[in-house]
Structure 1
Amino acid sequence: MKFHHYLVFISTLAILRPFTTFLHEMGHAIPALLYTKEGVTIYIGSYGDPKKSLRFRLGRLEIFFKYNPLLWEYGLCVREQIDISINKGIVIIFMGPLTSLIIGSFCLYIGLFGSNSDSITFITMMIAVSSLLDFYHNIVPDSEPITLHSGKQVHNDGQQIKLLLKYRNLPEEYHKCVEYYNNQEFEKSGALFEKIIKSGIKRDFVYRLAISSYLQIKDYDKADVINRDFSKRHKRKFSSNDYFNSGLIKSYKGSLEECIKDYTKSLKLDLNNINSFNNRGYTYNLLGKYEIAIEDFNKALALDENYAYALNNRGLAKIKLGDLQAGLMDIKKSLELDDENSYCYMNLGIYYFDTKNYNKALENFNIALKLDKDTYLLTEHIEKARQKLSILG
């Protein structure tokens, strides 16, 4: 009987979770519809993936339910209009957890004092448990970001509110910066974030956005200047991603040993930082330490077997160690996953160069050049291939 009761408890809770998740997201959606004039979308069962979902539309509100109900325990509410006041943004975010708290408290009261029916008492208590779990999970700030289907990272409700409360006292220029950043106008956002820092507002999140802006446009010199100041003032607050960005900057500045130290610090803070494993391995490749590099690429691929960058970088390491066919297989698989990766074509060119097929090497180097002219060391590889061809006549 005890096992039976436990099974009923778990199964009922699982059935009710989608219901309370939906109500939580509606708590966000209703004020978003009231405060904005554009569309609002709710995703139940995904963090923004509309595929393989039931779609409903009610005026400006669009709702996607994943076909698989086992995924319905989490959701996302997205508003199209982003240019709203911070106070309205706080209200929209806070109403999700508040809705869960109100529903949970009401059902808890009904379950304890408002019904003589065992069935109603049981169901309302389960709704109370699920809703109060939603409230707790969302209202307690969590610094670990959530990765959306688009690749963008966001924080839970509590962390977002915490950050917005910090932003309220920032100058109007800051909000313009964020608008530029969200519109991917990174040159403008970087310059304006830098101006805000120079004005004396040296918050950690302003530094992060300034560095990210300059990294997006590959202005590593400016990113380096800001990162140095950021490190002096906020080193104790450095996250795994902060050390990753610092390592990336140092890599492009040629400080390979120093960037390995940063990637290692990044991984000490987060052993699931797949990008730090890949970039540290890439740096070991540059240093000719191919065996160690392969260890890092294997760790990255253990986290995501379809991580194209780690595959093509591992392929290069294998080629340099003489395992040409295995290396070529990794690079070809990487191309199947991402045929817009300039580094993959460069590494394929290196394979052909090392096997003395200089025409094919130059062909692939040129494809990489068209994809990204700033691909690290690509011009040197092109020059070497041209020299070999000129010698051969």
Structure 2
Amino acid sequence: MTFYHYLLFIATLAVLRPFTIFLHEMGHAIPTLLYTKEGVTIYIGSYGDPKKSLHFRIGRLEIFFKYNPLLWDYGLCVREQVDISINKGILIILMGPLFSLIIGSFCLYIGLFGSDSDSITFISMMIAISSLLDFYHNIVPDSEPITLYSGKQVHNDGQQIKTLLKYRNLPEEYDKCVEYYNNQEFVKSGELFEKIIKSGIKRDFVYRLAISSYLQIKEYDKADKINKDFLKKYKKRLTSIDLYNNGLIKSHKGNLEGSIIDYTESLRLDPNNVYSLNNRGYAYNLSGRYEEAIKDFNKAIELEENFAYALNNRGLSKIKLGDFDNGFIDIKKSLKVDNKNSYCYMNFGIYYFDIGEYHKALENFNIAFEMDKDTYLLSEHIEKTKLKLNI
């Protein structure tokens, strides 16, 4: 094959890629339009970025084509309606690769047996190659997540189907559990998820939802009990979030060094996990390692500018290092973002305590106590302040 033929092959394949990717995404879109009543959006050349795109709408179907053709090597189909059955969800996901397989097989047949025209044969074979590549790339499960424009992570079609198949044959209570969890009724969801686990259904995602439910309501002993069982079964498959949860449980049970190890491992898996950055920094604060803490808080704030917890905790680090003014500014900014955070008022109290204004310190500690009497170490700060005031 000459250089010209190689060039023609690559150029033709590049021109046809957007066409086969679009057909793949239409494979998802058509059953979605049939099974749901809300909108469907296709992105060609991005994972959900509508900017700098050719945009048009056909009924409930909205389509974005990136202006830059060099980006037309991937796409995304998004449905607005999320409350559909598992079987319909599997079919919608499966139809993308299946569409690619049907088109690829048909064009392969045309290219091999169906035409006497060299041009038609060549184009048919190029479409077949592109479509069959789409099929293979999407149907083989890949555990490596895809980060969307929104920041959310998803997996390829094969991995999503594999995950959804796990949800089949779950007891009826599972849907109720998820409903409780989504409605933030964490006491009910935790108890019901735990009941499902005890019934013998020990899937990783059921464990994760049970642990998360109990952590949300600060039931650390219950979360710890389930987490220990989870670690025995899934220790080799832990995610960054799993390790974050493990660190959170350890920190609330007084094992600061153990929590720092878990947060560090969580950040090895996902360096941009702002929750692990914040919590490791918080553990550093409790250990008196304020310089290290500030580094974690700085990175968390770089990733999420208005991260109230990181701002508040960085404020405490600065105060403990003697930078009272900038520490106070950080806590004030945190309070503007989240005015229901008892830790802000506790840290204001620490600020006033450290500069010797004990009445103001006690006033802020009492506000924190009214907001959440279980705020970590708050009772100790109140007692120390009362001793200073001889109350």
TM-score range (shorter-chain normalised) is: 0.7 to 0.9
Q: 1:123 to 1:261 in 2, by over 3 A?
A: same
Q: Cα deviations across residues 130-179 of structure 1 (Å, max 9, x unaligned)?
A: 54444334322233444556665543321121122222233232233334
Contact 1:246/1:259, CA 8 A, preserved across alignment? yes
Q: 1:10 to 1:188 in 2, by over 3 A?
A: farther
Q: Which residue of 2 aligns with 1:94?
A: 94
State the alpha-carbon separation in 2 of the partners of residues 49 and 364 from structure 1. Answer: 45
State the alpha-carbon separation in 2 of the partners of residues 42 and 163 from structure 1. Answer: 23
Amino acid of the structure 1 residue aligned with 2:173: E
State the alpha-carbon separation in 2 of the partners of residues 115 and 363 from structure 1. Answer: 89
Q: 1:257 to 1:106 in 2, by over 3 A?
A: same
Deviation of the 1:76 alpha carbon: 3.3
Deviation of the 1:124 alpha carbon: 5.7
Report the secondary structure of 2:173's partner residue.
helix
Q: Cα deviations across residues 61-119 of structure 1 (Å, max 9, x unaligned)?
A: 342527765776332322515241x333221111122223333444555567757465x
Amino acid of the structure 1 residue aligned with 2:77: L
Q: Which residue of 2 aligns with 1:236?
A: 236
Instruction: Say if 2:32 is the partner of 1:32.
Output: yes
Relative to the length of structure 2, the TM-score reads 0.76
Q: Which residue of 2 aligns with 1:75?
A: 76
Q: Cα deviations across residues 220-247 of structure 1 (Å, max 9, x unaligned)?
A: 3322221122123332332222111111
Deviation of the 1:199 alpha carbon: 1.2
Amino acid of the structure 2 residue aligned with 1:212: S
Question: Structure 1: which 5+ residue stretches go unaligned?
Answer: none
Q: Which residue of 1 aligns with 2:163?
A: 163
Contact 1:180/1:186, CA 8 A, preserved across alignment? yes
Amino acid of the structure 2 residue aligned with 1:156: N
Report the secondary structure of 2:77's partner residue.
strand
Amino acid of the structure 1 residue aligned with 2:64: F
Q: 1:385 to 1:104 in 2, by over 3 A?
A: farther
Q: How does 1:153-232 map to 2 (within 5 A)?
A: 153-232=153-232
Contact 2:345/2:364, CA 8 A, preserved across alignment? yes
Instruction: Say if 2:314 is the partner of 1:314.
Output: yes
Q: Which residue of 2 aligns with 1:291?
A: 291
Q: Which residue of 2 aligns with 1:246?
A: 246
Q: How does 1:1-393 map to 2 (within 5 A)?
A: 9=10, 13=14, 18-36=18-36, 38-44=37-43, 58-59=58-59, 61-63=60-62, 65=64, 73-84=74-85, 86-107=86-107, 114=115, 116=117, 127-128=127-128, 130-146=130-146, 153-300=153-300, 304=303, 306=305, 308=307, 309-325=309-325, 327=327, 338-339=337-338, 342=341, 343=343, 347=347, 350-351=350-351, 354-355=354-355, 373=372, 376-377=375-376, 379-380=378-379, 383=382, 387=386, 391=389
Q: 1:115 to 1:217 in 2, by over 3 A?
A: farther
When structure 1 is superposed on structure 2, of 246-255 and 49-58 the one drifting more is 49-58
Q: Cα deviations across residues 310-338 of structure 1 (Å, max 9, x unaligned)?
A: 454334323322234554565567678x4
Amino acid of the structure 1 residue aligned with 2:90: I
Q: Cα deviations across residues 338-363 of structure 1 (Å, max 9, x unaligned)?
A: 45683566556654654556788778
Report the structure number with the largest CA radius of gyration: 2
Q: 1:305 to 1:122 in 2, by over 3 A?
A: farther
State the alpha-carbon separation in 1 of the partners of residues 217 and 53 from structure 2. Answer: 36
Identical columns (%): 65
Deviation of the 1:195 alpha carbon: 0.7
Report the secondary structure of 2:267's partner residue.
helix
Contact 2:20/2:100, CA 8 A, preserved across alignment? yes
State the alpha-carbon separation in 2 of the partners of residues 7 and 305 from structure 1. Answer: 46
Question: Structure 2: which 5+ residue stretches go unaligned?
Answer: none
Contact 1:21/1:75, CA 8 A, preserved across alignment? no
State the alpha-carbon separation in 1 of the partners of residues 361 and 16 from structure 2. Answer: 59
Contact 1:104/1:131, CA 8 A, preserved across alignment? yes
Report the RMSD for the aligned CA atoms in angstroms.
4.5
Report the secondary structure of 1:80's partner residue.
coil
Provide the aligned length of Structure 1 versus Structure 2. Answer: 384
Deviation of the 1:306 alpha carbon: 3.1
Amino acid of the structure 2 residue aligned with 1:215: L
When structure 1 is superposed on structure 2, of 150-159 and 275-284 the one drifting more is 150-159
State the alpha-carbon separation in 1 of the partners of residues 147 and 374 from structure 2. Answer: 26
When structure 1 is superposed on structure 2, of 141-150 and 352-361 the one drifting more is 352-361
Amino acid of the structure 2 residue aligned with 1:80: Q
Q: 1:273 to 1:122 in 2, by over 3 A?
A: farther
Q: 1:331 to 1:41 in 2, by over 3 A?
A: farther
Contact 1:29/1:40, CA 8 A, preserved across alignment? no
Amino acid of the structure 2 residue aligned with 1:23: L
When structure 1 is superposed on structure 2, of 50-59 and 174-183 the one drifting more is 50-59
Contact 2:243/2:262, CA 8 A, preserved across alignment? yes
